[in-house]
Chains A and B, each alone.
Chain A
Amino acid sequence: DTGVSQNPRHKITKRGQNVTFRCDPISEHNRLYWYRQTLGQGPEFLTYFQNEAQLEKSRLLSDRFSAERPKGSFSTLEIQRTEQGDSAMYLCASSSGTGSEKLFFGSGTQLSVL
């Protein structure tokens, strides 16, 4: 069990550019979540996968955001035409789908849009 891995740890980009983040969940976990967190706030739900199926997507999520989880393993989150308001920590979490279904979080990707 190597934990949830996210890459890159930091990303600095210019407004209007596209960015993609990757998340590798704990291998036996079939549930994967993306959250966004800004300073002084709790994590805000973005989207949820069960295996390869994207089952939920926040209504607050702009259509500039897209996520995939091919083959039910790693996941990618892409933001197109980034805006300064997209600057945040993007957290990925996974759970086993059994018991308490507690979330295991990755260390996150800190995005700064200049």
Chain B
Amino acid sequence: GQNIDQPTEMTATEGAIVQINCTYQTSGFNGLFWYQQHAGEAPTFLSYNVLDGLEEKGRFSSFLSRSKGYSYLLLKELQMKDSASYLCAVRGRTGGSYIPTFGRGTSLIVHP
């Protein structure tokens, strides 16, 4: 089975940098995703890592260490609209398929 752990809530100031950590245990690791979810809306894709290292995409970067079962999402130049839940999802072996399993999400509050 899969086990994913991420902080429940974080707060940060507009313009700052915030790092959201995710640790996981899984069988048959086949990729890690970060999704953003605003209240009352569907999750939207932010990033994908399958190999160790850093993936950068604009203000958002994601890092993966497979040996440590660890990832983080880095958000730079925070804006008020970045206030949302950030979901870490690990694709691992479920039965005969690879299925994304989600963490409980980290609620990020950005204040002025």
Interface residues of A (CB under 8 A from B): 33, 35, 40-45, 48, 50, 55-56, 91, 100-108
Contact = CB atoms under 8 A, between A and B. Distances in A.
Contact of A102 (B33, B97, B101, B103): B33
Contact of A42 (B45, B91, B97, B105): B105
Nearest to A39: B39
A33 to B, nearest CB: 7
A11 B100 CA distance: 26
Contacts, number: 59
Interface in B92-107: 94-97, 99-105
B105 A48 contact: no
Contacts of B44: 105
Given A55-B96, A56-B99, A100-B48, A40 B42 contact: no
